[in-house]
Structure 1
Amino acid sequence: MTSVAVLVELVRGSTSGGHVKCWERFAESAARLPDAAPGLDLTVCFLGDRERVETLSPRVRLVMLRPLLGSGPFASSRGAEDVTDLAPYHPRLAALLPRHDVWHLTHGFAYAATAVRLARRTARRGGPVPRLVASVHTDVPALAAVYARYLAARRLPGAGPPLARGAERWLRRRRDRLLGACERVLAPTPAGRAELAATLGADRVGLLRRGVDHGRFHPDPTARARLARAHGVPTDRPLILFAGRLDATKGLPLLADSVRLLRARGRPAHLVLAGAGADAEPVRRSLGADATLLGPLPQERLAQVYAGCDLFAFPSRTETCGNAVAEAMAAGLAVLLPEGAHTTQWLTAPGEDGVVVPDDTPEAWATALASLLDDPPRLTALRHRAAGTARETHPSWDRVLTEDLLPVWQPASPARPAAPPLRPAPERR
């Protein structure tokens, strides 16, 4: 039995982002492994408002631990960032880790720092050293640079650019230092793997793809009417969907400007936004009746929103993978993506199963949108081809777990007994 602890230092909730959802899906897949499969005991650690354990199977569980120094009070704007733990060390996690053979890092703050520090201490003392592996899910340094600009604009006018550059440089050094302590690092795309290989060496870098829940995300001809009834979106014009954080890290201001330009040119279109973030109110003021803001949505409701729209426009360049793109394609939406972005990996025939926009300007995005709105047969063909690409080439979470993760976890050092059921620490008064 190989015991694995995956460290996801983000708050888990029904509307959490793709990083959290990714590991929820992997845990569900692990719980479905047959009893005859090679022995795996999996614990996925998240952050939560209280310590608790959620058991998915006798060998799979989710653990929530309280953050010691939560980043919420430092957020640049309400709803803009995911909450992590900025503490340099998490003693409760440190007490739980030694029962596991493999420590899998997925971020770069309290949990990752604790794991690396504890592994080095164990090695110095001559104890059984765990296997450290990692996977890259988010370009945290790039996101931090944008949020630093938000923060500076509100509190330190004029300090934005140097603050952003400093934050990005510091976080990249920190990320590289933590990844350097791992024997194996997994990237979400071949391009990301090549980038990491230049620093870590090709023999230490592998691929961890993202899966798609095809049972949840699929075309649904009834979804449009239900979306109109529930949220009052118009039924007489195409619906352009954006899902994710509503801020500049995802390119939302660029998309909003392009839709405003599109409407000024007389094209019928309506923007639907699923998520929360710093630019929600500016977009609401800018587009008025031409936009519907749904707020953060759980996966079940988000799947219905996907299926009820026509296009998915996603100008983000900070994605390491962009699972929202795969979900939109599975739901039968035409997708528009920036040229050169990692998200284009989901396309097998750009121009046929999705549109690649060459320039990050409102004019270029408005022109790309208009080319589809003015040609309904092409839009329909793109939607059908996108759904076909998703069915035929986008792997399930079960497949990714079996092909990408288990081979990394299971060539382990001599196995220890399976981790016993975890119990929350006593409540402190």
Structure 2
Amino acid sequence: MPSVAVLVELLRRDTSGGHVKCWEHFAHSAARLPERLPVDRDGTPLDLTVYFLGDREHVEPLGPHVRLVMLRPVLSTAAIRSADSAEDVCDLAPWHPRLAALLPRHDVWHLTHSFAFATTAVRLDRHAARRSAPRPRLIGSVHTDVPLLAPVYARYLADRWLPGTHPRADDLLARRAETRLRRRRDRLLAHCERVLVPTPEGRAELARTLGPHRVAPLRRGIDHDLFRPDPTARARLAREYGVPADRPLVLFAGRLDATKGVPLLAESVRLLRAQGTAAHLVMAGSGAEEDTVRRLLGPDVTLLGPLPQDRLARVYAGCDVFAFPSRTETSGNVVAEAMASGLAVVLPEGARTTRWLTAPGRDGVVVPRDDPLAWADALRPLLDRPAAREAVRHRAAATSRTSHPTWDRVLAEDLLPVWSRPARTPRRAPRAGRASGTHAP
């Protein structure tokens, strides 16, 4: 097996989103199951380094051959985020010199984004090709549809930095941002011999530009030990956060902005409460719409802020319904987490998140239109009829247990076969100590 560098150019924190958590899970799987990993002719197991952005440079070893490395950004986006600062921090530099010094020790460079880490890797590879030097294998994977998110964030940024601009100017800025980011992504992925995507729709989109033979699936997994039903969680949730114990709890987890459909969900809950339906909205996350939700729902919402995975798992288990109106997800691992926790999930019809369902209408509810009235109508039966709600919850948990793969399985079936293919050209082994989790990078 080769030495693999996975490049996740996002800031790693306890409350980071699904992209960061995905690679943390894969890294822990690699470290936890060394006996199940393929080995090369010399008996050396897979060597895996996952690179993130961090406030300081340091190494977190997970095992003898697996480590997480945090590198400081060169041109951080932290200073230009919108007023709520809820967007992910990335690095806009065209070249990351520290990463450039570290990459040559690895055989496989796995790109997961399209900013500083990715551009550095592609530039290094092109330089090696011009010198006829040993080259790495470049792999790519799509985790977040950044171009699809760009129009919303462009408008948020315009509101902060260019207040009072005409709506048409905001729309033009948003369209240009989406077009440029999509071209940038596709240009970088074109350098990869294989690109991994989570959905058939994504595979079809990239196959048109890269060719079907270069695009393969990369599923998302679930930790069934962490996310599971817990009959004691509701009382703990009421005690710790003061949520009402006399009505069903509707949970949302993710960034509180328009890309996730938060305004739609908040208005649908307002309609339900106005019509006399007992419900309380619980939201885990932060974002641009946080104050709007608070003003709209008042005592009918509890805003928990961003939560680490262990606390979030307890919140899932204490709620009844998981409502997630987002259409921008490539996969939506929060849906799998909610189902594993035994919640009745409510999703937009046709969204990629519905792939987690095996029997729509039975193990989850799909909403045909993106308007508050349609969402209120979909939520009402689950809130008013406990027997109907419990039936969907039971079926969702069963689907999770029987149909949703673990992170260990996805690592073994989707990633290792791609990483372990023969390298383009022979490469020298890393020097002793370079791949050790006990040494600084």
TM score, norm. by length of structure 2: 0.94
Cα deviation digits, residues 170-224 of structure 1 (max 9, x gap): 0000000001110000001122112211221110000000000000000000000
Q: Distance in 2 between matches of 1:29 and 1:310?
A: 30
Contact kept? 1:238, 1:268, Cα under 8 Å: yes
1:123 paired with 2:129, answer yes
- Whole-angstrom CA distance in 1 between matches of 2:308 and 2:384: 33
Q: Which residue of 1 aligns with 2:177?
A: 167
Distance (whole Å) between structure 1 residues aligned to residue 34 and residue 336 of structure 2: 27
Q: Of 220, 227, 235, which aligns to 1:217? A: 227
Which of 58, 65, 68 aligns to 2:71? It is: 65
1:155 aligns with 2:161: yes
1:37 Cα deviation from its structure 2 partner: 3.2
d(CA) in 2 for partners of 1:109 and 1:169? Answer: 15
Superposed CA deviations along residues 325-357 of structure 1, whole A, max 9, x for unmatched, are 000000000000011111000000000000010
Structure 1, unmatched stretches of 5+, are none
Q: How does 1:28-107 map to 2 (within 5 A)?
A: 28-35=28-35, 37-38=37-38, 39-107=45-113
2:263 is matched with which residue? 253
Aligned to 1:271: 281
Shift of 1:53: 0.4
Write the letter of the residue equivalent to 2:344. A
- Structure 1 residue 36: deviation in Å? 6.6
Tell me the residue number matched to 1:349: 359
**Hey, what's the Cα distance between the residues in 2 that align with 1:79 and 1:220?**
33
- Please tell me the residue identity of whatever aligns with 2:375: W
| d(CA) in 2 for partners of 1:65, 1:120 | 23
* 1:109 is the counterpart of 2:115: yes
**What root-mean-square deviation, in Å, do the aligned CA atoms of Structure 1 and Structure 2 show?**
1.2
**Secondary structure of the corresponding residue to residue 9 of structure 1:** strand
In 2, Cα distance between the equivalents of 1:77 and 1:138?
A: 22
Inter-partner Cα distance in structure 1 for 2:84 and 2:16 = 15
1:420 aligns with 2:438: no
- Which whole-Å CA distance do the structure 2 matches of 1:74 and 1:186 have between them? 31
Q: Partners in 1 of 2:282 and 2:350 — Cα distance?
A: 25
**Contact 1:319 1:343 (C-alpha < 8 Å) held by counterparts:** yes
Q: Which residue of 2 aligns with 1:11?
A: 11
The answer (yes or no) to whether the contact 2:30–2:37 under 8 Å persists in 1 is no
CA positional deviation for 1:415: 5.8
Alpha-carbon contact 1:274-1:297 (below 8 Å) kept:
yes
Shift in Å at residue 63 of structure 1?
0.2
Query: What is the aligned length?
Result: 425
Matched, 1:378 2:393: no
Q: Contact 1:3/1:416 (CA < 8 Å) preserved in 2?
A: no
SS at match of 2:34: coil
Q: Deviations over 1:2-33 (max 9, x none)?
A: 10000000000100000000000000000123
Partner of 1:136: 142
- Could you tell me how far apart the structure 1 residues matched to 2:37 and 2:374 are? 51
Take 1:35 and 1:222, find their aligned partners in 2: how far apart are those partners? 36
CA contact (8 A) 1:80 1:245 kept: yes
Take 2:57 and 2:157, find their aligned partners in 1: how far apart are those partners? Answer: 31
**2:41 paired residue number:** none
Secondary structure, counterpart of 1:295 in structure 2: coil
User: Structure 1 residues 368-377 or 297-306, which shifts more?
Assistant: 368-377
What is the deviation of 1:77?
2.6
Deviation at 1:132, TM superposition (A): 0.3
2:435 counterpart letter in structure 1: P
User: Would you say the 8 A contact 1:240–1:309 is kept in 2?
Assistant: yes
Q: Is the 8 A contact 2:258 2:289 kept in 1?
A: yes
In the alignment, is the contact (CA less than 8 A) between 2:229 and 2:317 conserved in 1?
yes
Q: What per-residue deviation string (whole Å, max 9, x for no partner) do you get for residues 139-186 of structure 1?
A: 101112101011223333223111100100000000000011100000
Q: Which amino acid aligns with 1:211?
A: G
- Confirm whether residue 367 of structure 1 aligns to residue 362 of structure 2: no
Residue identity matched to 1:9 = E
How far apart are residue 123 of structure 1 and its match? 0.7
Structure 1 segments of 4 or more deviating over 6 A?
none
Q: Distance in 1 between matches of 2:82 and 2:37?
A: 46
Distance in 2 between residues matched to 1:40 and 1:34, nearest whole Å: 8
Identity over aligned pairs, percent: 71
Q: Which residue of 2 aligns with 1:197?
A: 207
The Cα of 1:73 is off from its aligned counterpart by: 0.8
Cα deviations by residue, 1:281-305 (Å, 9 ceiling, x for unpaired):
1111110000000000000000000
**Normalising by structure 1, what TM-score?**
0.97
User: In the alignment, what sits opposite 2:324?
Assistant: 314
- Which residue pairs with 1:302 in the alignment? 312
Match of 1:325 among 324, 330, 335: 335
Q: Provide Cα deviations, 1:364-422, integer angstroms capped at 9, x if missing partner.
A: 00110112222221110000000000000000000000000000000131464255337
**Counterpart among 269, 286, 293 of residue 303 in structure 2:** 293
The alpha-carbon distance between structure 1 residues 424 and 416, as it changes in their structure 2 partners (threshold 3 A), is same
- Listed as ranges, the gaps of 5+ residues in structure 2 are 39-44
The correspondence for 1:410, drawn from 420, 425, 428, is: 420
Is the CA contact 1:112–1:178 (under 8 Å) kept in the aligned structure 2?
yes
